Amino acid sequence: MPKTDDDALGPALERRLRRELNRVQPRFSSPRYASAAHPRVRTWRLAPVALGVSLVSILALSAFVATGSANPVVWTQRVVTVIDSNPPPTSEPSPAQPKAAPPAGAAHTPEHQAPATSEPREGSETPEPGRTPEPTESPEPSDSHSGSDGAGDSSHGSPAPIDH
């Protein structure tokens, strides 16, 4: 290889430089680049594990926020109660049938039976607070044919005049 004209050192100094540098023997250690290539592979292998851990932590955090408890047992109880509160789809149709049946002839009975069981509700739901006490009293006499209250009174009173 021909050198250009920039030979700053003479031949003597050049020989000396070679002699001194040839005395420097490199220690052949294992190439660092060979071991540096592994960490990337390891990190990619660990990626699915990191993904799974992050998913579990997100789920745990959301469960903690939903239940307000850090106890996993509480989370499972919460799930059970949510599932138990939803099954009714099978029991809903059966109450619908009794509601459909009454209109035929027993229109009065549901109305009268319902106040008997839920008197305070109806009383509270009535828009006119002045009449609230009345529905509570009316069902009891209604069992003895409430539609003819005046007639009943006259019938009770009628024997007397008849006796007269």
Residues forming the site for another protein (CB under 8 A): 1-4, 6-14, 16-21, 23-24, 26-29, 31-33, 36-37
- Nearer to another protein by Cβ, of 8 and 96: the residue is 8
Least separation in angstroms between residue 82's CB and another protein is 53
- Nearer to another protein by Cβ, of 21 and 100: the residue is 21
- Terminal Cα-to-Cα distance of the chain (whole angstroms): 157
Instruction: Report helix angle 38-67 to 72-84, nearest 10.
Output: 60
Which of 122, 161, 127, 154 is CA-nearest to residue 138? 122
Least separation in angstroms between residue 35's CB and another protein is 9
Q: Are residues 136 and 119 in contact, defined by beta-carbon separation less than 8 angstroms? A: yes
- Nearer to another protein by Cβ, of 34 and 160: the residue is 34
Least separation in angstroms between residue 16's CB and another protein is 5
Instruction: Indicate the DSSP class of residue 127.
Output: S
- Nearer to another protein by Cβ, of 35 and 144: the residue is 35
Angstrom distance (rounded) from CA 143 to CA 138? 9
Least separation in angstroms between residue 44's CB and another protein is 16
Angstrom distance (rounded) from CA 104 to CA 66? 49
Q: Are residues 67 and 75 in contact, defined by beta-carbon separation less than 8 angstroms? A: yes
Least separation in angstroms between residue 42's CB and another protein is 16
- Nearer to another protein by Cβ, of 31 and 93: the residue is 31
